[in-house]
Structure 1
């Protein structure tokens, strides 16, 4: 069954979160149609960005494996963003996306679900870079 190669989601901390993060996330979500175009991939990769705010801040830092839902063939990678971007927020999100794909590839190889790179997810990430605003 064809799956979307890559999905992007966010959890916003609320209150006084840095709007540079939320604006950059909005620009990524409005990007290429291929983000949701089904293809023959071993599993869907969903990257969830956690934007710290007053109401909620993630209890971890960096990038970690979330959950794998076998019934849906879907892996989540969780990305805890720092309170403020160090440079261009969109560029930082895209760099973290690349790192998330690498982490997912390592996980997939360890679990014997993957025997090469997540090419479709990498293509989408590359397309997102090409559509930089």
Structure 2
């Protein structure tokens, strides 16, 4: 197993999230393979599992980053509004624009991807707990993940 410095780990994890973002946006979750992401980053597939326990965990990290970016975009739009009506219009205009133009935001808000992926992770964690193979991922994403 390769040892990485904390700085390298942070950089590689960020690169994986960025590459995952591009692959998931282009191909969707089901058609993206771990090797698609690792090829972009330039690491081996086995090294991927030092950073994420599964493709689902990476996808969840990508979706959470997209959600955070969306909230930042909304805050900026609302900050420019002078009245409550303008705020509401800015929120709706920004949200609809993002949903239309960003496939990950569409999957996040319209298709409920976070719930689906979290459910898959919870099922995996329950299976691992039942067999005695405890996974860190079982507690990484608590109920606060649900949009």
TM range (shorter): 0.3 to 0.5
Instruction: Give me the TM-score of the superposition, normalised by structure 2.
Output: 0.30
Structure holding more strand per residue = 1
Structure holding more helix per residue = 2
